[in-house]
Amino acid sequence: MSYLQAIILAIIEGLTEFLPVSSTGHMIIGSSIMGIAKEDFTKTFTVVIQFGAILSVVVLYWRKFIPTDKNWKKSIAFYMRLLLAFIPAVVFGLLFKKYIDQMLENVIVVAVSLLVGGIIFLLLDKWFAEAEDRGSSELESNTKAIKIGMFQVIAMIPGVSRSAATIIGGLTQGLNKKAAAEFSFFLAVPTMFAATVKDLYDLYKSGGGFQGNQIELLIVGNIVAFIVALLAIKSFIGFLTKHGFKLFGYYRIIVGGAILILYFLGYELSMF
């Protein structure tokens, strides 16, 4: 992997990780078009640069993550709900990791998930038309947090998009669009951090390590993903509250269709 390829993949990660469009699908297209070698480091790179992306959430919403003397009780409740929403993904991830990895290797699964998700997104604005008027601006229930966490489990199907699943989960639990999107960002922090640590641990356990300039590539990738994610998150909130979900639905359908077309034309599409 060259530095240019690492930067492009990091831009893709930063742009798509928090948008409901599936970062996995975009990584597949990006890595395949650039002809990046399918090796263990490619997988490690795409996972580890998520750290840069989640750091952008902590920076943007630091008041949520760092308690003060005045709101420490509220911060404890916030962390408790994050934990409760995070647990279902941990349980299902450990139980079904083998099958999840198998689906990740199946490009058709990714494409179909994008298409189906796109159709659902075309209908979301109609389904949750009252979300802005009556929806809550903050999650205040542990039970609802767990339910949103169950939606995140659905995102283990490649192409569904973790962001899309958790935003929809938030809307079903009475949050308005802005609050649903923000809780999706918050939930990404423990989820993606755990995925990064797990991947690095698996690499260490297997006796693998980084060679040549790979550590430098990871550093560059994290920096780029951090900067791009900062911009993407700030832009997304404003766009979502003003324009809704339809554009993301059309976009998902286009990307899913493109993957299917490339696949049936004989292009070898795979991220790993």
119-145 residue pLDDT tens: 999 988 888 776 555 667 788 889 999
Q: Is residue 42 part of a domain?
A: yes
What is the predicted pLDDT for the residue at 125? 80
Residue 152 belongs to some domain of the structure: yes
Asked, for residue 245, whether it belongs to a domain, the answer is yes
Q: Whose structure tokens read 């390829």? A: 5
Report if residue 272 sits inside a domain: no
> Which letter does DSSP use for residue 140 in this model?
-
What is the pLDDT averaged over residues 252-258? 91
Q: Is residue 123 part of a domain?
A: yes
pTM of the model: 0.87
By residue range, what is the domain housing residue 248?
3-264
Instruction: Give residues with Cβ within 8 angstroms of 131, minimum separation 6.
Output: 171, 175, 176, 177, 180
Residue 269 lies in a domain: no
For residue 270, is it within any domain?
A: no
- The rounded mean pLDDT for the chain is 86
Total number of domains constituting the chain: 1
